[in-house]
Amino acid sequence: MSRLLRAVLVLLVIGALGAGGYWYWHQRQAGVLPDGIAGANGRLEADQVDVSTKMAGRVVEILVHEGDFVSAGETVARMDRAEIDAQVAGARAQVTQAEKAVASAEASVAQAESQKALAKQEYDRAEALHRRGFQSVEVLDQRRAQLAAADAALAAAEANVAQAEAAIDTAKASLDRLLTLAADTELKAPRAGRVQYRLAEPGEVLAAGARVVTLLDVGAVYMTIYLPASEVGRLAISSEARLVLDPVPEYVIPATVSFVSADAQFTPNAVETRDERDKLMFKVKLRIAPDLLEAYQAQVKTGVRGMGYVRYGADAEWPDDLAVRLPR
């Protein structure tokens, strides 16, 4: 047998084996994924939340370490607040001063009211005497002028009270603003989660908006996969899904479709045939239920690779190897 013939036979055998292997793999895939169920590889992700400074300042204390669990509202770091405390003390003094100004203005109102009452009595007596011919017009005019002056003094005193009360409102608003800034020196977790990164250390001076801690919301974990248009077109939000992770392939985690991208991730140059339309790939998120995550929050990790499966056919049934199986 010539070398050429032998080489041709070897190539034919290799081609047959390759074709047979592809056929076997395709049959295996067809058996695992019946019509109405699609799968793609992906990885676990979670919502990240940054705890950042509201104003520039020095970090005094950081109370958490990477890997710690924190609850919503828990203090994770503290900033230096000495300067703000001094401003708060000044604002409290201004409030006290304004309150004293109101008390003084109210006393002036009482005095003006007394003077007006006396001026009114003198005017009434002068008017009565004038009607009986025992009081001159000149004296009556004097009493009338005194009463008008008392009215004006009372109005001015009442205006001073309103001004003093407005000063109290201004001082209290300034105090409230400073107290808010003082409260913001305690950086709190906006939601429960695990500390992913500790990005600052005590003693560092940070700018406003600088990140101090990054949290992973372990109650919002999902896998992102990409599916072709032919399958996404039949997929509904809240459709059932399954996750199988590479490190623990013996477990099947239930999930639901929470997001389907409205835009394709990539497209061919000219969309003309059905095959070309099927090349459109869409981003799909498969979210795990929060109560399930809470039960296994110590085991939840992001970045873990695996496979995500979705049921886009209403009558499709999950195969046995994709039945839900969770650790006990």
Say if residue 58's pLDDT is above 70: yes
User: What are the structural domain ranges in the chain?
Assistant: 35-49+213-322, 57-79+185-205, 82-183
The pTM (predicted TM-score) of the whole model is: 0.62
Instruction: Give the pLDDT mean for 85-98.
Output: 91
pLDDT digits (tens, 9 = 90+) for 111-161: 878 887 887 887 777 788 778 777 777 877 787 888 788 788 888 878 888
Give the rounded percent of residues in the chain with a pLDDT score beyond 90.
42
Q: Which CATH superfamily is domain 35-49+213-322 in?
A: Efflux pump adaptor protein, beta barrel domain (2.40.30.170)
Q: What is the dihedral of CA 249, 251, 257, 262, to 10 degrees?
A: -10
Q: Does the pLDDT at position 237 exceed 70?
A: yes
- What pLDDT is recorded for position 2? 60
More confident residue, 229 or 9: 229
CA distance 82 to 41: 53
| Distance in angstroms (rounded) separating the CA atoms of residues 244 and 32 | 13
- State how far the Cα of 72 lies from the Cα of 193, in Å rounded to an integer: 8
Percent share of the chain, pLDDT over 70: 86
Q: Do domains 35-49+213-322 and 57-79+185-205 have the same CATH topology?
A: no
3-state secondary structure of 269: coil
- The pLDDT of residue 241 is above 90: yes
Q: What is the pLDDT of residue 206?
A: 94
Higher pLDDT among residues 4 and 37, named by residue: 37
**H/E stretch holding 62:** strand 57-62
Residue 108 to residue 164: CA distance in whole angstroms: 12
What is the structure's pLDDT at 150? 78
For residue 310, pLDDT over 70 is answered with yes
Q: Which residue has the higher pLDDT, 135 or 318?
A: 318
Q: What is the pLDDT of residue 275?
A: 56
The confidence score (pLDDT) of residue 279 equals 65
**∠ CA(272), CA(277), CA(282), 5° rounding?**
150
pLDDT, position 32: 57
* Architecture, CATH, for domain 57-79+185-205: Beta Barrel (2.40)
Quick one: pLDDT at residue 276?
54
Q: CA-CA distances (angstroms) from residue 234 to 37, 311, 313?
A: 11, 9, 7
